Amino acid sequence: MSIYTIPGKLNVEYNNEVKAIIDTWTTYQVSLDEFREAVLVKGMDYAKAHGAIAWIVDSSKAVGSFNRECQNFIGTDIFPAFAANGIKYFITINSASALTNLTVKEYRAKAGPNGLNLVEMPSAAAAIDWLKSNAK
């Protein structure tokens, strides 16, 4: 089920079967306001209302990197909000782009200190299968 879209950049969906928000990125070239609205407002509101336990970030088709403002916001606001609102699993799907993978690595490093379980999977489908077997 689609929750929110930044045209040409991001599609945010919800998988009710595994209670996961799925962010599918095509570019990380977004403003802080776009990022905040997509993740912290639309995504988090939906996650809270539906008891989400996982957040999957699919960067497999993404290019570019988050700006420093977005990177900092992830550590100061996003991951603490995830942890405070019942998100237990943060799952990443890497990109073919080396630059994008550096961005993923950078923000993934901020998840652990906030108490999230970090999981890296080869695809969103594999992440969903993993959640079916392992999420508690």
Burial class, 2, CB count within 10 angstroms (exposed 0-12 / middle 13-18 / buried 19+): exposed
CATH architecture of 2-134: 2-Layer Sandwich (3.30)
- What is the per-residue pLDDT across 33-90, written as a single tens digit (0 to 9) for each? 999 999 999 999 999 999 999 999 998 988 888 899 998 898 889 989 999 999 999 8
Assigned token pair, 68:
């420093």
Tell me which of 99 and 90 has the higher pLDDT: 90
Work out the pLDDT band at 17, boundaries 50, 70, 90.
very high
Q: Is the pLDDT of residue 97 over 90?
A: no
Predicted TM-score (pTM) of this structure: 0.89
Nearby residues of 68 by Cβ (< 8 Å), 6 or more positions away: none
